[in-house]
Amino acid sequence: MIDPLLGTYDNLLEELRLVGYEDGVSLFTFPYDWRQPLETTGSELGTALDGFLAQAAARPYVRTDKVDIIAHSMGGLVSRAYIQGNGYRNNARRLITLGTPHLGAPSTYLMAEGLEFQGIEGPILRMVAQSQAKKSGYCTWVYPPPWSDGVPVCIVTNSDFYRYVQQQIPTVRQLFPDRRYLSSNPGGYLISVANPTQIYPYGVQVNGFLEGLNGNVGILVSRLGVQGIIPVVGNGKRTDSYYRVIPPLTNQAPLWANGKVPQNSENVQFREQASGDGTVPSASANLGLVDSRISSLFVTRADDGQQDVEHRHLPTQLQLSTIERLIGLRPPFDAGFSDPLVRNPILIRNLSPVEMQVIDPLGRRAGVDFDTRSELTEIPTAAFWRSDVPGEPDFLFIREPLPGTYTIRLLGIAEGQYTVGMESLSEQGSVTVGEFSGQSMPGARYEHQIHYDPAALPALPLTITWLPPLREDETLSIQFNRTLPIKFSLRDAAGHFVADENVLVWIVDMAAPGTAVARFTTQGSNRGRSDAVRIDSEAAMYIVNLRLRDYGLQAGKTYLVGVTAFGQHIGSAVFAVRP
C-alpha cells in the first residue's frame, strides 16, 4: 500500500481507475523507504518497472514498451535518479513531477538541523522517526537515583534525534538546496542576519546528490525528450525561500550546525518567503531553471478552480489535469477530495517484540487478530502500518478518534522489553497521551488502557521559559558545592501555564552524552536528597533544587539540563561547574 497513514494518493488512484486503468495490469504503485539514499531507491524503481511491464504483458490490450511515471515531491528525484543513472533500461516514456524540489527545499534545513518537521504531516513524520530512533538505540538512558525504587527509561533527546536523522535518514540532506538555487539573488538560502551580503556565514553542507543530478540533467532530456518531461509547479502559496541565521547556541548543540533560524519577530524577518506550494518554492520545482529546454507548468489553483494548490494535496487537487496529460482528454468527473487530517488524529506506536490489537471506546478492533494473524479493520478511520522488517516499529493511525478509553492488547512474539504509547497529533505538534512498558515473553498476552480526552490536552505548541539563574542563551557558572535552583515555566499556545505530572528533568555531561547523570520527577522522595520536581501552579513554574554534591557533578565540566514534558523534549539550558 502506498502512504496508508496520510492517504495522499487515494483520490488520484481512484480517478485513474475511473478512466480505465486497472490495478496490477496498467496501474502500479511504488512505495519506498523514504529514509534510504535516493540513488538506492532509484535503482529499486528500475527493477520494479521491469516487473510492472512483465505483469502488463500478460494482457494483449495493454501497451507494454514503456511506462508513464507520475511522481510527487521526493518521488520526482527518485525517478530522475533512475532515468539519469547508469542502470536506466529505456523503459520510461514520460515523467510528470508534482511539486518536486528539483533544486532542493530550504525547509529541509529546518528539519535536519533544527528538528522542525513542518506541514500538517510533520508531526506524523516526526513521531514515526522518533519511534524508529528509540527502537534503534538513539536515546539517552536516564537512571533513577540509587536511593529510589524507580526504573530506568530511555528518552529521545534532541541531540539523540539529531544524530538519528543525520546518520539514518540521509535523504533529508539530499533535499538541501544546491548551489544553483537563488544563486543570483540573494546568493543562497542561508544569509547572515548581521551582514545581509554574507552568504553561509557558518558554512554550508554541499548536496552532492542534487549537484550531480542537475549537472547531468541533459541526460534526462536526451532519454525522455523535452515533451516527456512535465514539471508541475505550485505557485499559489507563500513558501519558505531563504533564511537569516544567527550563531548556533551551545545549549542546543549539535543542532543548527550552519546557523540557527529563529522564528520571525516583530523586528526581524528570519524566514523569508516567496511563491510556491507551501513546502517547495517555485524557484525549486521549476526544472526549466536548470535546463531552459524544459517547460514547466505553473499552477495556482486546483482543478476545481476553488482551492489554492498545496504541496501534500497536489496529487488530489490536480488529478484531472494530470490524467489529461496522460490520455489527452480531461475526465468529466473527479474522484473527490478527502483530507485525513480534518480532525486531530491519534497514533498508537508499538516499539516491541509484540503484536498489537487496539479496541476503541465502542468495542471496535484494529491491528492484528491474534488467532488468525490477519489484520482487523473494524475501526472505520484506522490505518495500520505493520512493518515487515524485523525490529521495526508498528503504527496504528486513527484519523477521527473517539474520546474515551482505548484498550491495547499485546501478544508476545519474542523475549524482550516492549513499549507502547499513544500520541495525539495536530499541525502544531504531538502530545503523548499515555505510554506503557514491560517485559515480553513469546505467547504471553498483555493488556493496557489509555484514556483519550482531547479537551484535556494542552494547546500546541508548548514553549519553555527558563527562570533565573538559568538562561536559554547563556552558560551559568556555579561552584561545585552549591545548590542550583532549576526553575522554568511551560506555557501552551494560548499563553496558559501547563502542568505535566509526568515531567522529567534530566542532566547530561555534554562531553559524554548518552547517559544522564541525574534525573528528577514529581514522584521523587525529596527526603534529604534533591530528586524531586515541584510544580507551583500559583507561581506558574516548575522547581528542582539540585544539590550538586548529591550527584557528584565535577568542577571543570559543562552540563546540559533538559526538560521532557508531554512526551517531548521541550528545551535545554547549560551550566558549568567551577571549583
3-state DSSP of 205-234 = CCCHHHHHHHHCHHHHHHHHCHHHEEEEEE
Query: Could you tell me the pLDDT band of residue 514, with boundaries at 50, 70 and 90?
Result: confident
Span 191-219, average pLDDT: 96
Q: What is the pairing mode between strands 429-440 and 568-578? A: unpaired
Residue 238, number of CB atoms within 10 A of its CB: 12
Span 335-357, average pLDDT: 78
Span 384-401, average pLDDT: 81
Residue 426 has pLDDT above 90, yes or no: no
DSSP character at residue 31 = -
Q: Which residues pair with 244 in a beta bridge?
A: 191
User: How high is the pLDDT of residue 5?
Assistant: 67
CA distances from 504 to 157, 158, 330, 349, 491 (A): 12, 14, 57, 21, 16
Q: Where are the domains of the chain?
A: 340-452, 463-577
Query: Could you tell me the pLDDT band of residue 529, with boundaries at 50, 70 and 90?
Result: low
Query: Could you tell me the pLDDT band of residue 387, with boundaries at 50, 70 and 90?
Result: confident
DSSP line for 110-129 = HHHHH----STTHHHHHHHH
Q: How far apart are CA 337 and CA 302, in angstroms?
A: 11
> pLDDT tens across 72-127, in order?
999 999 999 999 999 999 999 999 999 999 999 999 999 999 999 887 678 888 88
User: How high is the pLDDT of residue 360?
Assistant: 98
> pLDDT tens across 41-67, in order?
999 999 999 999 999 998 988 888 899
Residue 318 has pLDDT above 60, yes or no: yes
Residue 340 has pLDDT above 60, yes or no: no
Question: What length is written for the chain?
Answer: 579
Whole-number average pLDDT of the chain: 91
Cβ atoms of 237 and 308 within 8 Å: the answer is yes
Query: Could you tell me the pLDDT band of residue 7, with boundaries at 50, 70 and 90?
Result: confident
Residue 526 has pLDDT above 60, yes or no: no
Residue 145 has pLDDT above 80, yes or no: no
Residue 147 has pLDDT above 70, yes or no: no
Highest mean pLDDT pick, 66-80, 151-165, 177-191, 325-339: 66-80
Span 218-244, average pLDDT: 97
The verdict on whether omega for the bond into residue 247 sits within 30 degrees of 0, i.e. cis, is no
Supply the angle between the helices 107-114 and 158-168 in degrees, to the nearest 10. Answer: 120
The answer to whether the pTM exceeds 0.75 is yes
User: How high is the pLDDT of residue 523?
Assistant: 82
Strand ranges of the sheet holding 92-98, from the earlier edge strand across to the other edge: 67-72, 92-98, 229-234, 297-299
State percent of the chain over pLDDT 70: 94
> pLDDT tens across 455-465, in order?
999 998 899 99
Domain 463-577: which topology?
A: Immunoglobulin-like (2.60.40)
Residue 527 has pLDDT above 60, yes or no: no
Query: Rounded to an integer, what is the distance from CA 206 to the centroid of its chain?
Result: 22
Query: Could you tell me the pLDDT band of residue 267, with boundaries at 50, 70 and 90?
Result: confident
Query: Could you tell me the pLDDT band of residue 528, with boundaries at 50, 70 and 90?
Result: low
